[in-house]
Amino acid sequence: MARMDLSGGACNLLRAEHFSRRFPPHFHDTFAVGVVERGAAIIRTQAGEWTATAGSLLTFAPGEIHSAEPATTAGYSYRMMYPSEELVREIRRGRATHTRFQAPVIHDAALGRSIAKAHAPVMDGSTSSSAEDRLLGGLRTLFARYLSNASAPARRASDAEIVDQARAMLAERFQQRVRLQTVADANGVSQFHLIRLFRRVLGVTPHAYLVQLRVNHAQSMLAAGSRVADVAYDCGFSDQSHLTHAFKSAVGVPPGQFVRQVRGN
């Protein structure tokens, strides 16, 4: 993993080759934009299922829950970018960042090749402004061409509101031991109804959502230089082993390997 720091914000970059494991349902705190270089992957969201092949763009908004798995045993290779909200706002010239793409998989081979070509030198450590400009230009084209102007699919307002309130509560308390009954009581529903609402609206349980919140914060802390043991405690995991298991399941590598990739060791 590499990081691009610009005046307008930051962007983490990742490349994976011959990736053959399944990513369970998860989400990112930032936009996640990628390009499949080789092979094929199956992408699933609450809206349906897509097949991403070589040249396909992978596009997810912050908080958009999705899963991914290789379409064949050969796996697939891909490049990803995670631009900060500040950077996306600059790319979009101040327009709203809380919006979604038209689909999680976009078949635009020319734009995919352009973004992958711009991603390569930055991922390899280039700090030239021309390489960064090309990458930002690709992102700007992607956002301008494929961000949806429509709102998310309509759901019953009461269900969406309950889930949003519960998500906000989990985000505030992710470092603590969170009891499902407490969250359910605060929103005037039973534990079982809250689980059903989360599955209906987001496709995951409240517990799975909470674990992903913790993993996302753990990634940020590790990238910033925090010790693994400190991260486990500060992010609400019972111990370092618990962090390692959850982190590897969500990210694909254990915390130690993630740190080495981020720091280039």
Provide DSSP, 122-184.
HHTT---HHHHHHHHHHHHHHHHHHB--SPSPP--HHHHHHHHHHHHHHHHHTTS---HHHHH
Average pLDDT over all residues of the chain: 89
Checking if the pLDDT of 1 tops 80, the result is no
Cβ neighbours of 243 (radius 10 Å): 24
What average pLDDT does range 195-211 have in this prediction?
A: 93
pTM: 0.75
What average pLDDT does range 227-253 have in this prediction?
A: 92
Give the span between the Cα atoms of 202 and 182, in whole angstroms. Answer: 20
CATH number of this structure's domain 157-263: 1.10.10.60
Where are the CATH 1.10.10.60 domain residues in the chain? 157-263
Checking if the pLDDT of 198 tops 70, the result is yes
Task: Return the CA Rg of the chain.
Answer: 18
pLDDT-derived band at 243 (thresholds 50, 70, 90) equals: very high
pLDDT the model gives residue 155: 47
Closest CA to 243 of 259, 230, 261, 225: 230
Share of the chain above pLDDT 70, in %: 94
User: The tokens of 208 are what?
Assistant: 């799975």
What average pLDDT does range 33-56 have in this prediction?
A: 95
Checking if the pLDDT of 151 tops 60, the result is no
Where are the CATH 2.60.120.280 domain residues in the chain? 2-146
Lowest model confidence (mean pLDDT) among 59-63, 157-161, 188-192, 204-208: 157-161
- 2-146 folds as Jelly Rolls (2.60.120)
pLDDT the model gives residue 154: 46
Lowest model confidence (mean pLDDT) among 39-48, 78-87, 127-136: 127-136
Dihedral angle at the C-alpha atoms of 154, 85, 32, 178, nearest 10 degrees?
A: -70
